[in-house]
Amino acid sequence: MKIGTDIHKEFFCRDFLNSHISYDPETMDWPKLDSDTLDKLRAIPFWEEAVSIETRAGKMVSAFAKTIEDPLLREAIALQGQEEARHGRLLKTLITKYDLGAVARPGQPLSRQLEAEFIEFGYDECLDSYFAFGLFGIARQAGFVPDSLFTLFDPILDEEARHIVFFVNWIAYLETQRGAGAGWLRGLKSMGNYARSLKRQYSTFGRSTNEGFTAKGALNFNINLTIEEFLDTCVAENRKRMSQFHPALLQPVLLPQLSVLVLKIIRLWPFHKTRTNLNPKSA
């Protein structure tokens, strides 16, 4: 299948539309949690950021969908907008159900440049989701909360995987249609967009209100973890999520490849077995 063709567009859009799962956050089977688990959840500081980001994302993606002329692309992106908004409702329900005490803040107004914002959001989501897959696996292995809660949220991470796979296929299709479809050129543009996304994450990492809530929230899990273990888990969890997709679909590859490269460098280092804790809180 040639990237950027109508066949490619039909394939990645239909795959996205057909894999949609219907659920209502308000009527999900929320497990009963003990006081220790509730204390752990209440200690995580990113609930307000998470609700704000997901709610605003739903509005932004839905608004962008309305500007698209192609009916199939418009339908697929409109569905993503609905799913992003549902993630916001899911988090609001979680906060209310378990009395986490977080209050959603009003979101920032939408940009007039909706396509540019959608592209920026897409690369941010690729970055954030990759590390979220790893953190989810790490927290589950450590028994941070009861497994019933992980089981509840597992399909949500699969939904995030759908979003980033759809995005990388959409951006490749868009760039090809606009005459920038050469593989090396798309690769260079992707690296530039990822670099800007990393810069945004880095610049907000130390703030109390930030978009990099996945990375910052990890420091509150109090799990004894090395960089090597963290990257190993991210690679494995990402591979598991991506294995669900048809091999003809493009997938985000930069972060997994960089992680594998960093792991090789770490393991060549003579002192790599010396335990360097990623989270000083658990030292």
What does the alpha-carbon distance between residue 107 and residue 117 come to, in Å, rounded to a whole number?
A: 14
φ, ψ dihedrals at 226, nearest 5° = -100, 165
Q: How does pLDDT run across 234-279, given as a tens digit for each residue? A: 999 999 999 999 999 999 999 999 999 999 998 887 665 655 555 5
CATH fold for the domain made of 6-282: Ribonucleotide Reductase, subunit A (1.10.620)
Domain boundaries, the chain: 6-282
Q: How does pLDDT run across 81-103, given as a tens digit for each residue? A: 999 999 999 999 999 999 998 66
The dihedral built from the CA positions of residue 241, 245, 248 and 250, taken in this order, carries a sign that is negative
pLDDT confidence tier of residue 204, bands split at 50, 70 and 90: low
| Mean pLDDT in residue range 225-234 | 89
pLDDT confidence tier of residue 212, bands split at 50, 70 and 90: very low
User: Which segment of 11-20, 41-50, 66-75 scores lowest on mean pLDDT?
Assistant: 41-50
What's residue 199's pLDDT?
A: 74
pLDDT confidence tier of residue 211, bands split at 50, 70 and 90: very low
Q: What dihedral do alpha carbons 128, 134, 137, 140 form, nearest 10°?
A: -70
pLDDT over 90 (residue 43): no
Q: How does pLDDT run across 153-195, given as a tens digit for each residue? A: 999 999 999 999 999 999 999 999 988 766 767 777 777 777 7
What's residue 107's pLDDT?
A: 66
User: Which segment of 23-37, 178-192, 211-225 scores lowest on mean pLDDT?
Assistant: 211-225
What does the alpha-carbon distance between residue 23 and residue 20 come to, in Å, rounded to a whole number?
A: 10
What's residue 216's pLDDT?
A: 47
What's residue 201's pLDDT?
A: 66
What's residue 257's pLDDT?
A: 94
CA atoms within 13 Å, Cβ hemisphere of 118? 27
Contacts of 157 (CB under 8 A, 6+ apart): 129, 132, 133, 136, 241
Measured CA angle at 175 (ends 170, 181), to 5 deg:
115
Tokens representing 170 are: 């959409």
Inter-residue contact 42 to 100 (CB < 8 Å): yes
Inter-residue contact 197 to 123 (CB < 8 Å): yes
Share of the chain above pLDDT 70, in %: 83
What's residue 105's pLDDT?
A: 66
Share of the chain above pLDDT 90, in %: 64
Higher pLDDT, 204 or 240: 240
Q: Which of 183, 194, 188, 61 is nearest to 123 (CA)?
A: 194
